[in-house]
């Protein structure tokens, strides 16, 4: 018996990279997996169901159960069909793993409206849609007297929770996903649903152009996408029912709990004298903890 035996799991963007590893490990642990992927390029262009079919074939060859889904989860209708397929095919839905994403990196001064809109659409709306339709399903199950043990696992990024130059669109979407996770966890607890997120760093198609493609073999092994799957598989299981509203920083083999915004140094009665206010602000900034770098540590 695997840790996810008979749990019905949706994984978006599961044809390659991190999503593929999620799907394979979930299936190995007994889950029935809906493998969603458009088979698009890193920038979201083009498409083919080939990668999703390959993952399903690999799961089935190992004795697991999986089905292909080629819907566009960045649309309302596509995400609704995805959730409905899982329920119709396997009789219920237990887990939604929102992993699909694209990159259209550009410095802010050169970014186009289309580059902004496409990234926000895929990442942020592509997280909202499947989550919303699954949540509505789970709410109806509870209303009907059923016991729900549901999971939503979202994908943020170090670029979203720490920040990275050239990724205002991607980082904004990923920061939004982190906030979405915390709020949705509060809303869905009453239905027996936990909501968590990961902020992964791994060597995939999406990070090759960020310098990781030139890493040495030891680093490539340390940063292989397969190291991201264990925490996601555990969060998808019934064992994780007491963990919710958290963002996990998963950098290769390192696992951390990311600590979100907290109120720092405070001036209770700031002056309305603008000439003097600058001194107050500078003192507060000097007393505050520095922002984190891309590794999650204080910037030097």
Give the residue numbers marked as catalytic: 170
Q: Cα-flanking dihedrals φ and ψ of residue 171, to 5°? A: -65, -40
Q: Give yes or no for a contact between 9 and 95, defined as CB atoms under 8 angstroms apart.
A: yes
Query: Collapsing DSSP states into helix, strand and coil, what is residue 29?
Result: coil
Could you tell me the two tokens for 259? 């600590």
Q: Residue 13 has what DSSP assignment?
A: T
Q: Give yes or no for a contact between 112 and 106, defined as CB atoms under 8 angstroms apart.
A: yes
In Å, how far are 19, 61, 240, 298 from 188, measured between CA atoms?
24, 36, 15, 33
Q: Cα-flanking dihedrals φ and ψ of residue 298, to 5°? A: -55, 135
Q: Residue 279 has what DSSP assignment?
A: H
Burial class (CB in 10 A: 0-12, 13-18, 19+), 100: buried
- Please report where in the chains the tokens 């397929």 appear, as a residue: 85
Residue 127 C-beta-side C-alpha neighbours within 13 Å: 27
Q: CA angle 198-165-250, nearest 5°?
A: 20
What is the layout of strands, in order, in the sheet containing 8-11?
65-69, 32-36, 8-11, 95-98, 150-155, 193-201, 247-251, 254-257
């Amino acid at each position: 018996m695997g840790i996810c035996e008979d749990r019905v799991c949706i994984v978006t963007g599961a044809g390659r990279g991190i999503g593929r590893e999620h799907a394979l490990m979930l299936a190995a642990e007994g889950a029935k997996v809906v493998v969603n992927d458009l088979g698009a390029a890193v920038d979201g262009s083009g498409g083919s169901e080939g990668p999703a079919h390959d993952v399903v074939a690999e799961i089935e060859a190992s004795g697991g159960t999986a089905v292909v889904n080629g819907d566009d989860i960045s649309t309302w209708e596509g995400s609704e069909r995805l959730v409905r397929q899982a329920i119709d095919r396997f009789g219920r839905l237990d887990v939604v793993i929102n992993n699909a994403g694209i990159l259209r990196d550009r410095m802010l001064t050169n970014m186009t409206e289309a580059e902004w809109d496409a990234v926000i659409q895929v990442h942020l709306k592509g997280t909202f849609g499947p989550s919303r339709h699954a949540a509505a399903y789970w709410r109806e199950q509870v209303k009907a007297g059923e016991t729900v043990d549901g999971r939503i696992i979202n994908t943020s990024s170090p670029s979203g929770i720490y920040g990275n130059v050239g990724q205002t669109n991607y980082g904004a979407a990923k920061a939004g996903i982190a906030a979405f996770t915390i709020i949705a966890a509060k809303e869905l607890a009453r239905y027996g649903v936990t909501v968590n997120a990961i902020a992964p760093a791994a060597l995939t198609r999406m990070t090759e152009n960020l310098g990781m493609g030139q890493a040495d073999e030891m680093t490539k092994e340390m940063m292989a996408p397969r190291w991201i799957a264990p925490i996601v598989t555990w969060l998808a299981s019934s064992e994780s029912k007491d963990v919710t509203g958290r963002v996990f920083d998963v950098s290769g083999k390192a696992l951390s709990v990311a600590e979100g915004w907290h109120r720092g140094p405070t001036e209770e009665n700031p002056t309305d004298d603008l000439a003097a206010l600058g001194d107050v602000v500078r003192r507060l900034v000097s007393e505050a903890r520095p922002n984190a770098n891309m590794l999650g540590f204080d910037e030097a």
